[in-house]
Structure 1
Amino acid sequence: MQLEGIDHVALSVRDVELSAKWYIDVLGFERKHEGLWNGIPTFIAKGTTAIA
């Protein structure tokens, strides 16, 4: 099996909005799938890599 990349990882954080804001402001990620699942999990992505 050859690994081609990682689609997404899930992080457990105390403050979802504060954490998402940091990834967006500092690393340039963008929100994805807004309006789904009552905001949790929150998906943010840059290119083909995402964090939930």
Structure 2
Amino acid sequence: MIGAMVTHGRLGQYKFVALNVVQLAFAVFIAVGHQPTTRPRSRHRYRRET
């Protein structure tokens, strides 16, 4: 994607550079949103011992 931005910039197609920046920002937003914020709890947290 960065290569596409560089290529479009060299060709003077700044509209496509802006589009790639928006797509990159959206991809980063999605990737960060899928990161877990806390560790998952154990399934057997309140299990009785016999």
Between structure 1 and structure 2, the one with the greater Rg is: 2
Same fold (TM over 0.5): no
Which TM-score applies when normalising by structure 1? 0.28
Structure with the bigger RCO (C-alpha within 8 Å, sep 6+) is 1
Structure whose residues are more often strand by fraction: 1
